[in-house]
Amino acid sequence: MAEVLLFHHSLGLTPGVEAFAETLREAGNTVYLPDLYEGRTFPDIDSGMAYVREIGFDTVRKRGVAVADGLPEELVFAGFSLGVVPAQMLAQTREGARGALLFSSCVPTSEFSDDGWPLGVPVQVHGMDADPFFADEGDLDAARALVEAAPGEAELFLYPGDQHLFADASLPSYDEHAARLLTERVIRFLDGVRG
C-alpha cells in the first residue's frame, strides 16, 4: 500500500478530485486529500486563480507543507495543476519522499532545489499535448527537462487534446479515455512504489 498526499487544483476540492482519490483508495492505497481552500470551490480556472492571488501563492504552498508535516515521512506527493506546486516542492525537498505524480503541470526543478530531481524518487508527469496552460506556458518544457535530467526516474505521458483539467470527472473538461489511461498508469506507478 502506497501512502499518497494529493493536492487539488485551482478550482478547489471538487467532487472529481475526491472521486480520483477514492479510485486510488479502492486500488489499495491510502490517500490524504487536504482542502487548501478551506471549503471554497470555484466554477472556473480564472476565478480559482483570482482567489489564489488574493490569498497568495505562498499561503497555498505553506498550507500544503503544514499538512505534510503531520503525516508519515514516506509519501508519494501528487497534485493537479496548482496542486503540483506543493507536491513537487515536497517531493524534491522532503526526506523520505517515495515518488511524485504531477498532473497538468510541472515546475522547473531549479525552483525548489539547486540539486535538481532527487535520486531514487520516481516521478510521472501527465498532460495534454495541446493544453495551452501545460504546453504553451513552460510546463511541458519543464517536464521534458526533468525526464532528460532524471533518466529512469522520470516519465512524461502526453495525451491528445487541449483540456487542462482532463482527469476531473466533475468538470466539462473531463476526457474519459485520457483519464482512464492516466489512472491505470498511476495505479501501476503506486503498485511499484509499494513493492
Phi/psi at 99 (nearest 5 deg)?
170, 175
What strands, in cross-sheet order, belong to the sheet with 99-103? 30-32, 3-7, 76-80, 99-103, 123-128, 154-159
Cell 503544514, residue located:
66
> For residue range 78-122, what is the model confidence (pLDDT) as tens digits?
999 999 999 999 999 999 999 999 999 999 999 998 888 999 999
The band of 125, judged by pLDDT with boundaries at 50, 70 and 90, is very high
Whole-prediction pTM: 0.96
Domain residues for the domain of 29 are 3-194
- Residue 195 above 60 pLDDT? no
| Number of domains making up the chain | 1
Angle, CA 133 vertex, CA 12 and CA 180 arms, to 5°: 65
> For residue range 159-176, what is the model confidence (pLDDT) as tens digits?
999 999 999 999 999 999
User: CATH number for the domain including 35?
Assistant: 3.40.50.1820
Query: Cα 94 to chain center, whole Å?
Result: 16
